[in-house]
Amino acid sequence: MELREYIRPLRKWWWLILGATLVATLSSFFATRQQPPTYSTRATVMIGSAIENPNPNGNEFWLTQQLANTYADIVGRDNVRQSTMQALGLTWLPNYTARVVANTQLIEISVIDTDPQRAQAVASELANQLIQLSPTGPGQGDAQRQEFINAQLDDLEAKIEDTRAEIARRQTELASMFSARQIADTQTQINGLQNKLSTLQANYAALLSNTQRGALNSITVIEPPALPLRPVGPNRGATVLLAAAIGFLLATGAAYLLDYLDDTLKNPDEVQKTVELTTLGAVPRMENMGPGNELMVTAEGQSAGKEAFRVLRTNLQFAAVDRPLRSLMVTSPAPSEGKSLVIANLAGAMAQAGRRAVLVDCDLHKPRLHRLFGLRNNVGLTTALLEERPALDVLLQDTAIPGLHVLTSGPLPPNPAELLGSARMREFVAELLTQFDMVLLDSPPTAVLSDAAILSTQCDGVLFVLAAGRSRREITRRAMEALRKVNARVLGAVLNQMPMQGDGYYYYYYYNYDYAGYGTDGQSGPGQNGSGRGGTKNGRRGWLRGRRSAGRSPAPEVAPLPPTRS
């Protein structure tokens, strides 16, 4: 698959991608403008007091880290939320999170709110509620007992200091003694004081473990929440860019999905891949075409449609170079794909090239050629097939194009397939070839009826008409299989209703020219000197004018389409 095939859905659905991106961008922009600014604050608490211990052990750190994880989970519980709301007199709480700082015993409580003062108050109260849930928090145990323990700790602190001072004094006296008895007595006293100090310290540590100052399962606020002054959100720029990116990606995905689901044939490459047919021509979509002006080749002046049928006429001659092409059937896979319009204009282009052509309406279900040319349909092909010696002068009808005759369908029979496949039909086509240079047969759709497959065996070649962006792949495959089963000689395909711009644009330089400089008869118009050097496109325009001024010939004035790449 080539790169342009990946880009084609983006070019085709550019308006969808652009529109979705703009809608997402503008929506997010106006939505973020309506959002109030938000503020963030943070309170940090520490579990335990291992960091204050000059000689902590690893077990204390591990235990406090586990406790920190537990308390961080408790902060999000309903009892903490309800207690915080009751303490602050609120009916709801702003968004907040509690996380443990990695590999520490620290917990960060972050609050985001539109009111900076309320955010600070909520963060502070959450930390306070967490402290109250701890064993050493306020309200836990007997207050008088805690006061007694604190008094005992103060008394033990004083005794420890006194004992240390006494030991120091005795050691100073020991240094100045000379009597062995006094030295021994003093040393005994020092040992007794040291034992007393050890006992006092052990009692102090035991009492201290029952207070917040010495407990591992205690909570301390080390960083109270500050009053936020600058908003942290919303980040309008990032939000708008993210919305635009999401809109673009979704629209791009939708474009590729729509292209994947679209099974219609839109360009010659897809025709080649689907049914292995070369595209011999591309007929542009004419927006102003309606009843009465559907024959492009009879229009005044120059036009893209007229040039398209001249190109098709030339390419048919090259496609049948190894075998003369005198009878041609034009069909399509499904109805309403423009086969009658294509064959009518193609027949007109051949007649304008100097060939005597007859156009036969073989669609005995829904004939249309008599409407295109404004002819009567009381007699026609069915009349010729049912009569033994039909008078062609009575059946054939003249048209406004010199050299082109039309044989309409005539009264519709109940058995079209039997009539088209009869020996009489083959003899009648042979009889027409004796009087005309070219016989063109307009057949019913191939995938719908068997008439086209039957009729294709009675002509020199088949031209397949496809509507760009409308003919479906599977129906087209079935139609081609029907023709190949009867060994029909399919010369190529024609893409009808091709867009004049965008994806599928398959035209040549002459469509971009200003045709106002040409006369309707191919001669130089006003402002042209006829020398092949006038107008806005002097080089090629003059060459075309020179060819036209030399007179008409069977070969048209434009180069054939290049072969479709497989």
pLDDT digits (tens, 9 = 90+) for 382-391: 999 988 777 8
Q: Give the model's confidence band at 546: pLDDT under 50 very low, under 70 low, under 90 confident, else very high.
A: very low
CA atoms of 335 and 339, how far apart (whole Å): 8
CA atoms of 544 and 547, how far apart (whole Å): 5
Q: Which two tokens stand for residue 87?
A: 């303490």
Q: Residue range 35-54: average pLDDT? A: 86
CA atoms of 336 and 319, how far apart (whole Å): 26
Asked if residue 183 has pLDDT above 90, the reply is: no
For residues 314 and 491, is the Cβ–Cβ distance under 8 A?
Answer: no
510 is a domain residue: yes
Across-strand partners of 112? 40, 95
Do residues 285 and 195 share a domain? Answer: no
- Per-residue confidence (pLDDT) for residue 24, from 0 to 100: 95
- Per-residue confidence (pLDDT) for residue 110, from 0 to 100: 96
Across-strand partners of 39? 113
Phi, psi angles (nearest 5°) of residue 98: -130, 120
- Per-residue confidence (pLDDT) for residue 236, from 0 to 100: 87
Q: Which two tokens stand for residue 243?
A: 């919305």
For residues 439 and 326, is the Cβ–Cβ distance under 8 A?
Answer: yes
Q: Evaluate the omega torsion of the peptide bond into residue 116 and state whether it is cis, within 30 degrees of 0.
A: no
480 is a domain residue: yes
Do residues 327 and 462 share a domain? Answer: yes
Q: Give the model's confidence band at 552: pLDDT under 50 very low, under 70 low, under 90 confident, else very high.
A: very low
Do residues 171 and 283 share a domain? Answer: no
CA atoms of 272 and 279, how far apart (whole Å): 8
Angle, to 10 degrees, between the axis of helix 180-208 and the axis of helix 143-174? 160
Q: Residue range 289-309: average pLDDT? A: 78
For 199, left (φ over 0), alpha (ψ -120 to 50), or beta? alpha
Asked if residue 504 has pLDDT above 60, the reply is: no
Q: Residue range 422-448: average pLDDT? A: 92
Parent domain of 204: 143-211
Could you identify the residue written with the tokens 């100052």?
A: 213
Q: Give the model's confidence band at 144: pLDDT under 50 very low, under 70 low, under 90 confident, else very high.
A: low
- Per-residue confidence (pLDDT) for residue 480, from 0 to 100: 93
Give the DSSP H or E segment for 30: helix 14-34
CA atoms of 216 and 315, how far apart (whole Å): 96
Do residues 495 and 417 share a domain? Answer: yes
CA atoms of 348 and 541, how far apart (whole Å): 24
Read out DSSP for 123-137?
HHHHHHHHHHHSTTS
Cβ neighbour number for residue 86 with a 10 Å cutoff = 11
Q: Give the model's confidence band at 533: pLDDT under 50 very low, under 70 low, under 90 confident, else very high.
A: very low
For residues 395 and 407, is the Cβ–Cβ distance under 8 A?
Answer: yes
- Per-residue confidence (pLDDT) for residue 319, from 0 to 100: 83
Sheet holding 490-498, edge to edge: 279-284, 490-498, 461-467, 327-331, 438-442, 357-361, 404-407, 397-398
More confident residue, 12 or 321: 12
Supply the DSSP symbol for 183. H
Q: Residue range 180-189: average pLDDT? A: 84
Do residues 322 and 201 share a domain? Answer: no
- Per-residue confidence (pLDDT) for residue 555, from 0 to 100: 36
For 156, left (φ over 0), alpha (ψ -120 to 50), or beta? alpha
In sequence order, the 6+-apart residues with CB closer than 8 A to the CB of 282 are: 268, 308, 468, 494, 495, 498, 506, 507, 561
440 is a domain residue: yes
Read out DSSP for 155-181?
HHHHHHHHHHHHHHHHHHHHTT---HH
110, 115, 116, 120 alpha-carbon torsion, rounded to 10°: -50
For residues 33 and 27, is the Cβ–Cβ distance under 8 A?
Answer: no
Do residues 205 and 278 share a domain? Answer: no
Degrees, nearest 5: CA angle 107-109-115: 165
- Per-residue confidence (pLDDT) for residue 497, from 0 to 100: 87
Q: Give the model's confidence band at 204: pLDDT under 50 very low, under 70 low, under 90 confident, else very high.
A: confident
Asked if residue 57 has pLDDT above 80, the reply is: no
Do residues 200 and 326 share a domain? Answer: no
Q: Which two tokens stand for residue 285?
A: 């979509």
For residues 413 and 382, is the Cβ–Cβ distance under 8 A?
Answer: yes
Give the DSSP H or E segment for 467: strand 461-467
Asked if residue 364 has pLDDT above 80, the reply is: yes
346 is a domain residue: yes
User: In total, how many domains does the chain have?
Assistant: 2
In sequence order, the 6+-apart residues with CB closer than 8 A to the CB of 521 are: none
Q: Residue range 532-543: average pLDDT? A: 36
Q: Give the model's confidence band at 169: pLDDT under 50 very low, under 70 low, under 90 confident, else very high.
A: confident
Do residues 169 and 291 share a domain? Answer: no
Do residues 368 and 464 share a domain? Answer: yes
pTM of the model: 0.59
490 is a domain residue: yes
Give the DSSP H or E segment for 441: strand 438-442
Asked if residue 145 has pLDDT above 80, the reply is: no
CATH of residue 310: 3.40.50.300
Asked if residue 140 has pLDDT above 70, the reply is: no
- Per-residue confidence (pLDDT) for residue 501, from 0 to 100: 65
Asked if residue 558 has pLDDT above 70, the reply is: no
Do residues 362 and 469 share a domain? Answer: yes
Nearest C-alpha neighbor of 553 from the set 363, 313, 364, 386: 313
Return the minimum-mean-pLDDT range out of 136-140, 262-266, 307-311, 479-483.
Answer: 136-140
Do residues 376 and 497 share a domain? Answer: yes
Q: Residue range 186-204: average pLDDT? A: 85
Do residues 302 and 170 share a domain? Answer: no
- Per-residue confidence (pLDDT) for residue 146, from 0 to 100: 64
More confident residue, 200 or 91: 91
Half-sphere exposure of 27 (CA within 13 A, CB side): 12
Q: 391-395 — which CB contacts under 8 Å span 24+ positions?
A: 392/431, 392/432, 392/435
What is the b/e burial string over 21-49, where b = at least 16 CB atoms within 10 angstroms of the residue's CB? beebbeebeeebeeeeebbbbbbbbbbbb
For residues 119 and 39, is the Cβ–Cβ distance under 8 A?
Answer: yes
Phi, psi angles (nearest 5°) of residue 215: -85, 145
125 is a domain residue: no
For residues 564 and 278, is the Cβ–Cβ distance under 8 A?
Answer: yes
135 is a domain residue: no
What is the b/e burial string over 379-406, where b = at least 16 CB atoms within 10 angstroms of the residue's CB? bbbbbbbeeeebeeeebbbebebebbbb
Sheet holding 39-47, edge to edge: 95-100, 106-113, 39-47, 219-223
| Winning range, highest mean pLDDT, from 13-22, 140-149, 186-195, 303-312 | 13-22
In sequence order, the 6+-apart residues with CB closer than 8 A to the CB of 110 are: 40, 41, 42, 96, 97, 98, 99, 123
354 is a domain residue: yes
Q: Residue range 509-521: average pLDDT? A: 35
Percent of the chain whose predicted confidence (pLDDT) is above 90: 46
- Per-residue confidence (pLDDT) for residue 53, from 0 to 100: 67
